[in-house]
Amino acid sequence: MLDHTDITHTFYDIQRPEYWDPASLDQEMNRVYDICTGCRLCFNLCPSFPALFNALDKQGQRKRDTAVQAGRVGSEEVRTEFLNLPEGQQIGEASIEAEFVGDPQDLTDAETWRVVDLCYQCKLCESVCPYTPDKGHEFQLDFPRLMLRAQAVRTKDRGKKLSDVFLSHTDFSGRIGTLLAPMTNWVNRLGLFRFLMEKIMGISRHRELPDFHRQTFTKWFRKHRKASAPPAEPAGKVVIFTTCYTNANAPSVGQAAVEILEHNLVEVRVPPQQCCGAPQLSPGDFDAFKKQARPNVEELAQWVDRGYQIVVTGPPTCSLTLRQDYVYLNDGDPQLSEKVAKVAASTLDISQYLMQLHKEGKLKNDFVHELGEINYHLSCHLKAQKSGYKSRDLLRLVPGTTVNMIDKCSGMDGGWGMKAEFFAESMKVAGKLVEALNRKPAEHTCSDCTLAGMQIHQASGGGINSQHPIELIHHAYGLDHQN
């Protein structure tokens, strides 16, 4: 029987040699799988847990079937009444049934790794799990970090899949896509091209791809800054971390953020930057992640030293990466560790920053348009940051506005939902979100995660168009009329 309190193989520090030991990883996965199977609190959060529980339940059923064939036990009898059983019979039957419980150590490699592959790092289990380090529990269970460790050990052994290689080059694909837009968008809709993309790169031909924009956010900002002057007495100073998605695929979100900030007398800068590194982290490629992320840390830390806060305008995955995952850059260099901590402490999502201004009495309330009823989708990676529901609260500041918060995962997670092998699972998760949205008809649907918005649109058959909350606030201020 596994000892759930034995944390001998519980390693989350990539600098430890034991982290990379496959035998140690196997021991930890067996321990955690056994704990999760006994708890099952996360049964409906993502595809990983049902895959684990179903595999172990089937294993237990196979044991029972073998025992029945051998004549050791009778066929399973489903009871609905236990109080009238003879004294002690309940205990006896329970002890027999304990023999037919699945054992994680007996799972096949395919069953074990299916659980890993179905984890798309939504991190919802962290807030639900009672056994985490944050809650001070002796089990020290951190399921997402264990899944990341498993990905890292496998990637080190076998290398990355071609789909992971393709999806990790977001800066390059953004440059090419925007340079050749709108031709890129046309090609991305060609059936033959999408068929070849699926066969060669593993990107589902059924996945609707985001459009590229010839005028990226950074190009727009350079022109915008030449035509505008910073406020003489700023209410605050921020640098925008654009995110590669906002820059190439959703520049309107970045533009709205800048115009709202400037409307509220905030000085805005956009420093040199690149993708946050989340696509490199997803398959556990820590070497590529460090190469991608370190220039961001070096650049952003300088701005923090000059009194600027970092505002993220794109998917919350990026702010989560800056705030929580850049810790993987730490390699014993105290100066780098200080910069990582500095960047993490100074990073806010755009709505979070605007609510900070509101708390300080610096946010203007000169809204000119009501927004009516809004369905606000709470994205998983925003929830994982435990910073509250700032976009919901911001929207509620607009007179004549009602906000329905929809707390359902979109099942997108960027690259995971793009892959052909997970597309069906991704859409199955999204279907539950669409059902929840359809139960509450509203004038607007919005999500802080623009990728989730893309998923909502596709999963609803094009029936629901999602915006970023900041675009609705932009309209409420009447700033869209100035463009």
Q: What is the pLDDT along the chain (483 residues), one digit of tens a residue?
A: 678 999 999 999 999 999 999 999 999 999 999 999 888 898 888 899 999 988 888 876 766 666 666 666 555 554 445 445 454 444 444 444 555 667 888 889 999 999 999 999 999 898 889 999 989 999 999 999 999 999 999 999 999 888 899 888 999 999 999 999 999 999 999 999 999 999 999 999 999 999 999 999 999 999 998 888 888 889 999 999 999 999 999 999 999 999 999 999 999 999 999 999 999 999 999 999 999 999 999 999 999 999 999 999 989 999 999 999 999 998 888 999 999 999 999 999 999 999 999 999 999 999 999 999 999 999 999 999 988 899 999 999 999 999 999 999 999 987 899 999 999 999 999 999 999 999 999 999 999 999 999 999 999 999 999 999 999 999 999 998 655
Q: List the Cα angle 469/282/112 in 5-degree steps.
A: 120
Q: Same structural domain for residues 431 and 375? A: yes
Helices (H), 211-349: 217-227, 244-248, 251-263, 278-281, 286-305, 316-320, 334-346
Q: Same structural domain for residues 124 and 184? A: no
- Residues 309 and 240: their CA atoms lie apart, in Å, by 9
CB 446 within 8 A of CB 468: yes
Q: Same structural domain for residues 43 and 108? A: yes
Asked which of 334, 355, 376 is the last residue of a domain, the reply is: 355
- Residues 208 and 407: their CA atoms lie apart, in Å, by 23
Q: What is the pLDDT of residue 399?
A: 96
Interhelix angle 251-263/350-359, nearest 10 degrees? 10
Q: What is the pLDDT of residue 330?
A: 87
Q: Which residues contact 264 (CB under 8 A, 6 or more apart)?
A: 235, 354, 357, 362, 363, 364
Number of domains in the chain: 4
**Token pair recorded at residue 443:** 């004038």
Q: What is the pLDDT of residue 362?
A: 97
Q: What is the pLDDT of residue 94?
A: 44
- Residues 139 and 130: their CA atoms lie apart, in Å, by 9
Q: Same structural domain for residues 291 and 351? A: yes
Q: What is the pLDDT of residue 82?
A: 44
CB 349 within 8 A of CB 419: no
Q: Same structural domain for residues 402 and 453? A: yes
- Phi, psi of 166, deg, nearest 5: -65, -45
CB 325 within 8 A of CB 385: no
- Write down the pTM of the prediction: 0.89
Q: Same structural domain for residues 246 and 338? A: yes
Domain of 420: which CATH number? 3.40.50
Q: What is the pLDDT of residue 44?
A: 85
Residue 225 is assigned to a structural domain of this protein = yes
Q: Same structural domain for residues 30 and 153? A: yes
Q: Same structural domain for residues 404 and 460? A: yes
Asked which of 298, 327, 355 is the last residue of a domain, the reply is: 355
Q: Same structural domain for residues 347 and 472? A: no
Q: Same structural domain for residues 226 and 276? A: yes
- Residues 410 and 328: their CA atoms lie apart, in Å, by 27
Q: What is the pLDDT of residue 85?
A: 47
- Residues 111 and 48: their CA atoms lie apart, in Å, by 11
Asked which of 170, 201, 232 is the last residue of a domain, the reply is: 201
Q: Same structural domain for residues 147 and 277? A: no
Residue 63 is assigned to a structural domain of this protein = yes
Q: Same structural domain for residues 132 and 108? A: yes
Supply the range of the domain harboring residue 349: 217-355
**Token pair recorded at residue 76:** 């399973």
Interhelix angle 286-305/334-346, nearest 10 degrees? 70
CB 469 within 8 A of CB 444: no
